[in-house]
Amino acid sequence: MKKKYLITLLLTINSMNILKAQPFNATDAGAKSLNEQKIIFTGGVILETNVSDFIHSGIDDSQSKMKLGFSAGGFLDLGISKAFSVQGEMLFHYKNSDFEWSSQKGEYRYWGMEIPIYAMYHHYFSKTNRLHIGIGPYTEFGLGATFKYNGIKQDLYQKNGTTKLPALRDSNTGFGIKVGYEHISGFQINATYKASITNLLDENSSRIKMYPQTISIGIAYRFAK
């Protein structure tokens, strides 16, 4: 499974290096209209801080508290028109939250890779500065997850000797919304909210539901504008 993640990462980095040099314009060779549509590829880098916790049910006397983490990665944007584009991202996360269950308190820590895809709308202001909003699905792959309580650190991806199941699944899928502002220079300020539709629990999943949610605020820079 980890080899698959590594191959995906290497292919994405290679694609970003190719597209970083300059935008690529694809046009219909037979079109002669002055208004012919251009498809433009651009890419860039992303750096964010995040807060995350769980939406849960089936657990009495429990609560999850958001704590700070961070995300870093890059994006590729397919410009279909001036107002619309499709943007794919690859992000690496560190997420952190407190969890209390029946007076037992602990800290959840997570490292993972996420691939969201957004359908983006762009509204232009003067000097070509623009506001953008996007919505779309994401898939997340966990690389490591632990729960620390009373001095004990538990690997949440380690399989139970009896049930042969880990405490948590190492992947989940959900939907996100992204809002941001881009300066003519390519500098962006963005905010995102993502919520999973996958129950993260593997063991005890029939009676307990835990859906991760994340709020992120950060900056990005677009190359080859």
Q: Tens of pLDDT along 133-146?
A: 999 999 999 999 99
Q: Identify the CATH number of the domain in which residue 180 sits.
A: 2.40.160.20
How confident is the model over 192-210, as a mean pLDDT? 86
Is 65 a member of any domain? yes
Model confidence band, residue 104 (pLDDT cutoffs 50, 70, 90) = confident
Instruction: Give the chain's mean pLDDT.
Output: 83
| Helix or strand run (H / E) with residue 51 | strand 39-57
Between 94 and 29, residue with greater pLDDT: 94
> pTM for the whole thing?
0.80
The answer to whether the CB of 136 falls within 8 A of the CB of 103 is: no
Domain region containing 50: 2-21+40-223
pLDDT of residue 161: 78
Q: Tens of pLDDT along 15-63?
A: 445 444 444 444 444 444 434 457 899 999 999 999 999 888 766 666 7
Category of 47 on φ-ψ map: left (φ > 0), alpha (ψ -120 to 50) or beta: beta
pLDDT of residue 208: 81
Is 27 a member of any domain? no
Is 87 a member of any domain? yes
Count of domains forming the chain: 1
Is 30 a member of any domain? no
Question: Which residue in 197, 177, 199 sits closest to 132, CA to CA?
Answer: 177
